[in-house]
Structure 1
């Protein structure tokens, strides 16, 4: 390889932005990426939760950044990516993880506020973060990067009484597909991870889930490490390789044939 073709090594290593990094799967993914050698910018609405993630990581301060952000707000999302670029110089990975849930109700009993909150967070927030990531990744040198959208089995097959969440996750699937297509021109790889039942990280019992026939069943779970291993695998692919879709779930979880 000639000196002209060699890519400079960023001073902070590979740079990831993780939304929803203050709790749940976002926190777990952030800690796993840090453990794998990435530098990570954590985004979320609660500063104290982001700082708790940083404290749990126990890494040198230069490798981690907390940026309180409401991803539903275009100006706050733009400020997030400005802060990451100012601190680290580039963005190599966006894990579009932040989400929202609503109580499962029939559509006739679903409040408009629940619909708006879920769609605004998952769909609009995912779009705004991807838009800023495209702007940074297409302009930086070396050009390109990777986006991983956090989907769900509900991006493909619904659960009963989950109209807002299912619609939002189906929209994530469409977002993943079009961004993967549009990203080719800029060296931006876009994929989606769909994770099934993850055991509650606080050790609480897995709640029963309604099945298509109306019965309630406690379904199998996997430890959160199976999820984080998959995220790190997708993130660590070389630039010319994309994991387009990756589904990780308990072997006996209802998915194929759900309904």
Structure 2
């Protein structure tokens, strides 16, 4: 049975992805802060292993990985997904603590997960595995008032490139999926903020979160000699391409 750890697995893209892997017979480690939500997933499938921990807690993450590996003996993939959007504001209105909090989750947290996965994949026999980072369309084309989130996602693109290069000698592949407007709690919250500012605002077009989850599964199930380096999937009518 193949094994994967999914961070941010309690809701949104992470939960949908975890459930997609479970349906295909993978052993899935579920990492998130909200243990009650992880327990809900595990109650429906014995192949789900709840690992409640904050991704920014390095020692806690080490313990979570150790617990998972004690049960599986191997890590075939990591979906590095946990993230936070932070404040919607221009840079002069952003509190430095809020900026630090976003980078702490979106960069430090993803670094910790990738480091632990890379180390395990390098040391296990047979060597190798796959790391899939959740980037964002913001890594290419930001929405307004997203300085904290956009900065963090540009960092993740750099992380993906570095991991891909450093992983080659060890059969560790790394790819990135940039997802635009899947219906999640985060996007629903952004729509709610827009409506609070303007009750007549045009809400963002959205796609089903399950469509994004199936693409992560596709990336993970490729043979070792193939890798999706970067993939973009988004709601069809998003204004990503074109001019205003």
Gaps of 5+ in 1: 1-12
Name the TM-score, length of structure 1 as normaliser. 0.86
2:5 and 2:28 in contact (8 A); partners too: yes
Partner deviation per Cα, 1:103-157 (whole Å, 9 max, x = no partner): 3111111111211111000100111111111110001011100000001100111
Local SS of the residue matching 1:243: coil
2:222 equivalent in structure 1: 237
1:130 equivalent in structure 2: 114
What is the distance in 2 between the residues matched to 1:81 and 1:200?
A: 26
Cα deviation, residue 257, structure 1: 3.4
What is the distance in 2 between the residues matched to 1:82 and 1:98?
A: 19
Deviates more, 1:87-96 or 1:45-54: 45-54
What is the distance in 2 between the residues matched to 1:194 and 1:125?
A: 18
Q: Alpha carbons of 1:46 and 1:199: their partners in 2 closer, same or farther (altered >3 Å)?
A: closer
Q: Given the alignment of the two structures, is residue 43 of structure 1 paired with residue 31 of structure 2, yes or no? A: yes
Deviates more, 1:219-228 or 1:184-193: 219-228
What is the distance in 2 between the residues matched to 1:138 and 1:247?
A: 28
What is the distance in 2 between the residues matched to 1:252 and 1:241?
A: 30
1:191 equivalent in structure 2: 175
Local SS of the residue matching 1:217: coil
Greater RCO, 1 or 2 (C-alpha within 8 Å, sep 6+): 2
What is the distance in 2 between the residues matched to 1:219 and 1:258?
A: 17
Name the TM-score, length of structure 2 as normaliser. 0.92
Local SS of the residue matching 1:43: strand
Larger gyration radius, structure 1 or structure 2: 1
Question: How many equivalent residue pairs?
Answer: 238
Local SS of the residue matching 2:41: helix
2:241 equivalent in structure 1: 256
Q: Alpha carbons of 1:47 and 1:200: their partners in 2 closer, same or farther (altered >3 Å)?
A: closer
Q: Following superposition, which runs of at least 4 residues in structure 1 exceed 3 angstroms of deviation? A: none
Cα deviation, residue 209, structure 1: 8.5
More helix by share: 2
What is the distance in 2 between the residues matched to 1:208 and 1:98?
A: 21
